[in-house]
Amino acid sequence: MSEVSIQAERLLGRLSSLGAIGRGDDGRLTRLAASDADRAGRDSLVRWLEDAGLEVAIDRIGNIFGIWRPESVRDDAPVLLGSHIDTVIDAGIYDGCYGVLSGLEVIETLKSSGWRPSRPIAIAAFTNEEGVRYAPDMMGSLVHAGGLSVEEALASIGIDGTRLGEELRRIGYAGEREPGFLKPHAYLELHIEQGPVLEREGLAIGAVETLQGISWQRVTIEGVANHAGTTPMSLRHDAGHAAARVITFLREQAVAADTPSVATVGSLRFEPNAINVIPARASLTVDLRDPDEMRLREAESALASFLDELARSEGVAVSVERLARFEPVVFDRGVVDRIEQAAGRRGLPCRRMTSGAGHDAQMMARIAPSAMIFVPSIAGISHNPKEFTPDADLLAGANVLLDVVRSLTAAG
């Protein structure tokens, strides 16, 4: 089944073209959702969809669909290949775009090879996956899956004070289709790993079987500010020292667990933050992730117990605010199997793995059998101009996507 392959130049050329849209005078790439740069990127994508002879549909939240619906299978649910083309600030060219353009490449390859699919094949570019300009992230797919009303999403106020609904109208991408109009038979998302695992293990393909659950909390510790020279150690209520103990506790827990659990304190502030004053207050964020919901709950619970003990032993007040919480996602075993088999047939070394980042696929998994295909990210770098995946890996991933689509649309 591997005799057909995608056209390397066409896919790589489009990735490069799309990556050139939205660059500022300083050369930095930024296509925030519903911005002028996003409009320019969308316009290019729609032109390519039309050139490929696909039916273009845009829904009220601005999600763009390109649908190949042969006469014979007109009414069946499609195999949907999606991701996003909005970016973070100062982005690389692969995150999201690689999945959307590979989906288009797969459809064009199949069309020109004379493939007669048993059901429609479609691609989707979901609005505002990154969530940089408007909250929440993964918004277009969340609305598509029914997890957020389109009215609420359109009312989202951006970091620049704009309203998403008005910005979508302004750029000409407030469509008329009702979100969720396209119910997929299956959903596939091809994406760069954004982590170091595949490169480190020398693998070409990740068959993503789970997506980590995420728990975000803000911990605020109130101690007592005092003179750094005149306050004996035994009389201190040092909010900064208490915060440091939270950080070392989380590391020890995560390392001792010997599981895929990760824990990160990425943000920390002291007050008054002066060299000779014992910190009165420390505010830190805790990012816990685990592909297993039970373990994630245990990690949350261990932290809560530790914070109780900390408050007592340090004589500080500790308060916790929940910032975000997503349960882990388990992708469809049948689809994951097909990815692994497709990689094997192409001789590509592959492993089953967990996605540490959030993706549109986790929303689509609510309404259709879904899975993801990962390709290596050099040094695990993403959300950064240094984001890079070698061409050979990009092409390998697209060919695996092609083969999985063929297996899902082969005539019974």
Name the residues that contact its own copies, by CB under 8 A. 193-197, 200, 212, 214, 216, 225-235, 238, 240-241, 243-245, 247-248, 251, 254-255, 260-270, 272-279, 285, 287, 289, 323, 355-358, 380-384
54 vs 208 by CB, closer to its own copies: 208
The burial of 335, by beta-carbon neighbours within 10 Å (0-12 exposed, 13-18 middle, 19 or more buried), is given as buried
Least CB distance to its own copies at residue 252 (A): 10
Minimum distance, C-beta of residue 323 to its own copies, in the bound complex (Å): 7
How far apart are CB 368 and its own copies at their closest, in Å?
Answer: 23
In the bound state with its own copies, the residue whose beta carbon lies nearer, of 160 and 201, is: 201
Cis peptide before 232 (omega within 30 of 0): no
Among 187, 238, 193, 227, CA closest to 353: 193
Q: Which of 21, 95, 102 is nearest to 383 (CA)?
A: 95
What is the residue whose two structure tokens read 């605010």?
Answer: 321
Give the DSSP per-residue string, 129-176. Answer: SS-SSSSSSSHHHHHHTTSS-HHHHHTPBPTTS-BHHHHHHHTT----
Cβ nearer to its own copies, comparing 8 with 224 = 224
Q: Are 110 and 117 in contact (CB under 8 A)?
A: yes
Of 28 and 47, which CB lies nearer to its own copies in the complex structure? 28
Q: Are 29 and 23 in contact (CB under 8 A)?
A: yes
Q: Whose Cβ is closer to its own copies: residue 234's or residue 411's? A: 234
In the complex, what is the shortest distance from the CB of residue 25 to its own copies, in angstroms, rounded to a whole number? 22
- Can you give the length of the chain in residues? 412
CB of 228 to its own copies, least distance (A): 4
Nearest to its own copies of 183, 322 (CB atom): 322
Which residue's entry shows tokens 């763009």? 64
For residue 274, the minimal CB distance to its own copies (Å) is 5
Structure-token match 């696909």, residue found:
54
Nearest to its own copies of 176, 276 (CB atom): 276
Name the minimum Å distance from CB 269 to its own copies. 8
What the block records as the tokens of 117 is 């699919």
